[in-house]
């Protein structure tokens, strides 16, 4: 650590409120997660952005990373990797129905590390994936709020909605939504005197499907202002079969109906933005509570999304791909005494980097096997040379390497894609077979995992094993 950084961190850790409620000189952590939110946030996008005044205001007080990427474009593997500091290719957690704690009983998670170092570890909402949220080793207290509104009958008209693949405004009080109640619980925690330093994780579910939100959030968007994604009809012509198969996985007939009906697509795009704006209001409530609490000057705040989401790009309406829209996420850090308000870093970083970063900022000894890198150097100097691309894994043996300029994909069968984001931000031209880019591929290939862990047992595997015994 440089002398200047040591001085800054020492000064930060030594902050004292001089308040009756100031519980310690050690920094607290407010860890805010958003589910299935792509990069349609005002601070990251232009035309496609949803209205996100609270998240945008937070970014103006923090350091925003414009090239942040998930380690997997699915909830369970993304969150398990972020919170254990280990990538899917190391753990074998590639799917949503793999109980990561049963597979890794001795791993020390990020909230567990804080808990074992005399922090009070509190989880609210969706932090891990669904039923894996209540990991007893991670939390002193954990409270789930459920998904919220999910009507029995389809809301969307003119489209055969089924199950959670539905959207539209819902005429119910905010209190009917789990995310609203989660934000209220976080507010109550932050306005209550705490006797110990805390790690407070607050997880919001929307804009995850179904895209339901109160009517007022739909009213923010005029139909004529909805921006449709740019789509190339021949997009799959230069993509290897493995990539095409991944893009069409889980697609089904409903996706064709959406793509081929402009009005249905418009309503879906509007609903996704409305759900982002709904979540933005919840995030704002939590941040306002922090600002009005005794902990405002001694709390690190991290705001992140677990992965992206395609809404028509690459002929895809979902996640589970190794392309940009499925992998890029919102990530912003505010560290009192260290980050400069409104700072932007264009360096490529991974959600795997959150664990070692927070451990270093709070002076905790992290496990030696963490695979991410501490971002403290970039929090000190956002323009620092950073030659580390981000690795994203989707199912066993399929990986993307994202540098500041390129996205390189290698599938399990060895087939490849390469995109130059400097000239091709939509990823329409696969350059992997162009001999001019041989050296680029060779350089990026060195960041691929050396081995791929076999897929961990799924829920059904444990059930079958229990029945056989």
Q: Measuring CA to CA, how many Å separate 143 from each of 110, 123, 185, 372? A: 17, 6, 9, 28
The angle, 0 to 180 degrees and rounded to 10, between the axes of the packed helices 262-291 and 252-259 is 100
pLDDT of residue 48: 86
The angle, 0 to 180 degrees and rounded to 10, between the axes of the packed helices 178-190 and 262-291 is 10
DSSP state of 209: S
For residue 331, give the nearest of 300, 299, 360, 354 by alpha carbon. 354
pLDDT of residue 260: 86
H-helix or E-strand spanning residue 399:
strand 399-402
pLDDT average per 10 residues of sequence, the chain (469 residues) = 41 34 72 97 89 98 98 97 98 96 97 98 95 90 87 81 86 94 98 95 96 96 93 96 92 79 94 98 98 96 97 92 98 97 98 98 97 98 97 98 98 98 98 98 98 96 85
For residue 322, give the nearest of 432, 233, 204 by alpha carbon. 432
Max CA distance (Å), the chain: 67
H-helix or E-strand spanning residue 6:
helix 3-13
- Residues with active-site annotation: 75, 129
pLDDT of residue 157: 82
pLDDT of residue 19: 31
- Alpha-carbon distance of 368 to 152, in angstroms, equals 48
DSSP state of 126: S
Look-up of token digits 């996985």 = 249
CB burial of residue 20 (10 Å; 0-12, 13-18, 19+):
exposed
- Alpha-carbon distance of 305 to 64, in angstroms, equals 13
Please list the residues that pair with 304 across neighbouring strands. Answer: 33, 331
Q: Measuring CA to CA, how many Å separate 88 from each of 100, 287, 296? A: 10, 32, 35
pLDDT of residue 146: 83
Please list the residues that pair with 121 across neighbouring strands. Answer: 199
Instruction: Decide: 55 and 42 in contact? Cβ < 8 Å.
Output: yes
Out of 3.90.180.10, 3.30.465.10, 1.10.357.10, 3.40.720.10, which CATH number does the structure's domain 27-389 have? 3.40.720.10
- Alpha-carbon distance of 160 to 264, in angstroms, equals 11
Look-up of token digits 């040591």 = 6
For residue 283, the number of C-alpha atoms closer than 13 Å in the C-beta half-sphere is 31
- Alpha-carbon distance of 315 to 329, in angstroms, equals 20
Map out the domains of the chain as residue ranges. Answer: 27-389
Count of positions (residues) in the chain: 469
pLDDT of residue 252: 67
For residue 81, give the nearest of 352, 311, 277, 347 by alpha carbon. 352
């Amino acid at each position: 650590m440089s002398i200047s950084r040591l001085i800054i961190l020492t000064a930060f850790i030594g902050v004292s409120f001089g308040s009756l409620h100031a519980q310690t000189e050690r920094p607290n952590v407010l860890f805010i997660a958003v589910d299935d939110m792509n990069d349609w946030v005002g601070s990251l996008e232009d035309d496609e952005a949803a209205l996100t005044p609270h998240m945008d205001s937070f970014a103006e007080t923090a350091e925003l990373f414009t090239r942040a990427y998930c380690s997997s474009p699915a909830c369970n593997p993304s969150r398990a990797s972020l919170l254990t500091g280990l990538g899917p290719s190391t753990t074998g957690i590639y799917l949503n129905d793999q109980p990561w704690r049963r597979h890794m009983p001795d791993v020390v998670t990020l909230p567990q590390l804080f808990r074992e170092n005399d922090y009070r570890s509190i989880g609210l909402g969706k932090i891990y994936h669904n039923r894996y949220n209540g990991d007893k080793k991670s939390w002193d207290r954990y409270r789930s709020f459920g998904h919220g509104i999910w009507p029995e009958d389809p809301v969307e008209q003119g489209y055969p909605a089924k199950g959670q693949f539905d959207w539209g405004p819902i005429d119910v009080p905010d209190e009917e939504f789990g995310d609203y109640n989660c934000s209220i619980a976080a507010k109550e925690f932050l306005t209550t005197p705490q006797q110990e330093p805390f790690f407070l994780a607050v997880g919001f579910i929307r804009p995850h499907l179904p895209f339901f939100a109160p009517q007022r959030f739909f009213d923010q968007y005029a139909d004529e202002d909805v921006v449709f994604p740019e789509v190339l009809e021949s997009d799959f012509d230069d993509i290897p079969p493995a990539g095409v198969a991944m893009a069409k996985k889980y697609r089904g007939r409903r996706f064709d109906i959406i793509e081929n009906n402009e009005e249905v697509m418009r309503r879906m795009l509007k609903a996704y933005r409305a759900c982002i704006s709904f979540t933005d209001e919840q995030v704002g409530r939590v941040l306002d509570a922090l600002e009005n609490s005794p902990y405002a000057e001694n709390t690190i705040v991290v705001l992140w999304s677990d992965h992206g989401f395609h809404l028509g790009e690459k002929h895809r309406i979902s996640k589970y791909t190794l392309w940009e829209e499925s992998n890029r996420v919102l990530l912003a850090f505010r560290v009192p005494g260290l980050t400069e308000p409104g700072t932007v870093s264009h360096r490529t970083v991974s959600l795997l980097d959150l664990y070692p970063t927070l451990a270093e900022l709070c002076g905790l000894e992290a496990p030696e096997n963490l695979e991410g890198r501490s971002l403290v150097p970039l929090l000190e100097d956002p323009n620092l040379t950073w030659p580390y691309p981000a690795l994203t894994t989707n199912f066993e043996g399929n990986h993307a390497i994202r540098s500041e300029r390129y996205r390189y994909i290698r599938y399990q069968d060895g087939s490849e894609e390469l995109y130059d984001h400097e000239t091709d931000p939509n990823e329409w031209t696969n350059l992997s077979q162009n001999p001019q880019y041989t050296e680029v591929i060779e350089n990026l290939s060195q960041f691929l995992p050396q081995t791929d862990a076999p897929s961990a047992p799924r829920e059904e595997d444990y059930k079958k094993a229990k029945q056989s015994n």
